[in-house]
Structure 1
Amino acid sequence: MSAARTRAQSIIDENAVAVFSKSYCPYCKQSKNLLNDLGAKYFLIELDQDEEGAAIQSALAELSGQTTVPNIYIGQKHIGGNSDLQAKKGELKALLKEVGAA
């Protein structure tokens, strides 16, 4: 397993909520705003500011099949991107509480 894939998997495994983002991405901002509004505790990695960012994004594509950001995991389960997170808005508070991130 590549170092980037190992790192991505560790981030997913060790955090109740993991958000793989890019600092300039408007969809990432929307996801972070929603999580912040709900008071969620989450691990954030800005792939455009990390020296392994491109490799981690490739590793995430292998892990989840998703090539875009944000790439969001809650309770070690792949949620998807911003539209997927926004679609779960109604159940998100309960889901965050369930994984200890509320």
Structure 2
Amino acid sequence: MSEAHKKVENLIKEKPVLIVGMTWCPHCAEAERTIGKVTKDAYEVDMDNEADGDDIHQAATEITGQKTFPYVWISGKFIGGADAVQKLQNDGKLKDLVDSAFR
């Protein structure tokens, strides 16, 4: 297991809400805005600002099976990307899910 893989696994375990994306990605910004409506405490990793960003992307892809970003985890569970976050918001489930992550 690579160091980046270990890093991502540790962040998933440690952070109640984790968003891994890119600063220039509109889908990442959308997921961050949507989650930001229910918490200001989401932990964000912008892969393009990380020295090991390519390795983090590869690790996140290996862990999730999803090649595109953002990658969003809540309470250690992979939620998906921006569409999944938006669906949770539209279904009225995002706030409860995020609130429970911080309990």
Give the TM-score taking structure 1 as reference length: 0.94
**Structure 1 segments of 4 or more deviating over 6 A?**
none
Residues 11-90 of structure 1: matches in 2 within 5 Å?
11-89=11-89, 90=92
Q: In the alignment, what sits opposite 1:92?
A: 94
Contact map agreement 2:36 2:42 (CA 8 A) in 1: no
Q: Which runs of 5 or more structure 1 residues have no equivalent in the other structure?
A: none
Contact 2:19 2:43 in 1 (8 A): yes
Please tell me the root mean square deviation across aligned C-alpha atoms, in Å.
1.1
Contact 1:12 1:73 in 2 (8 A): yes
SS in 2 for 1:88: helix
Alpha-carbon shift at residue 52 of structure 1 (Å):
0.6
- Tell me if the contact between 1:40 and 1:96 (Cα under 8 Å) persists in the aligned partners: no
5+ residue gaps, structure 2:
none
* In structure 1, C-alpha distance between the alignment counterparts of 2:60 and 2:28, rounded to whole Å: 16
| 1:21 CA displacement | 1.0
TM-score normalised per structure 2: 0.94
Shift of 1:61: 0.9
